[in-house]
Structure 1
């Protein structure tokens, strides 16, 4: 009687276990690139949101300083940092031709990001100071985030 119970209570065979692991490996290899793209899009969306906050702070600065812009992120109210501001993936700064007073009349607000942590900041976004009504634009579309996606985010 005890011998029958042991035969009926068998576990998985090595073949069944290997097939299961192969299926899990295939599913993971299909899902991983989609997950990485999803994470990159969310990081880019956060960068665009931060650019919009810096842009709004520049608009306030512009209104309070006789039509001039700040040359430093740290001078804007509500913003931390000095000349630039850095989070986990992006560095934000104002690229401007300054006259030494800290006030500028032209330039861009730029964000450069390293999404894959290879040390190369290949994801670049910017908005011009003259076109504060404009949306940030992606200067490196090779990273997989298109202008049409950005338009759907902010339209």
Structure 2
């Protein structure tokens, strides 16, 4: 065995070398996983914004045909499933707070609210009167954005 070169005789890895590789992989994972989670959170929030804007267009189209929003039903439109992202989207009469197709709706204004159970993500509010805001806490009603942590979008 004296004539065999050293690099051929030692074919395995030492425990120290393996531990260094494990530490490097752990550091990369500690950086990548939170970044990916934040990216996914922003992506779901963007989906909720897009869905709300799409519904706003459908509401305005409905009003152009019927002269008010009363009777607008989400069953005639394709509302995004909450299984694709963790948001619950609700459309109500902004004056009364009831569904536009329910009795008691005035039909002159609307409000769309998208809420989530994820405390690190935003809840959204969009109204026909021009309110457009997001907040990490829940909204009290449909007429304002709240006082703490509210931002426009």
Aligned residues: 133
Distance 1:140 1:108, change over 3 A: same
- What pairs up with 1:2-151 in 2 under 5 angstroms? 4=4, 7-9=6-8, 10=10, 11-70=12-71, 72-75=73-76, 79-80=77-78, 86-89=82-85, 90-96=87-93, 97=96, 98=98, 100=103, 104-115=107-118, 123-131=122-130, 136-140=132-136, 147=151, 150=153
The structure richer in helix per residue is 1
In the superposition, the TM-score normalised over structure 2's length comes to 0.69
- Partners of 1:24 and 1:122 lie apart in 2 by 28
Aligned match of 1:153: none
Q: Give the secondary-structure state (helix, strand or coil) at the position aligned to 1:45.
A: helix
Q: Give the secondary-structure state (helix, strand or coil) at the position aligned to 2:17.
A: helix
Distance 1:86 1:104, change over 3 A: farther
Gaps of 5+ in 1: 151-155
Aligned-residue RMSD, C-alpha: 3.3
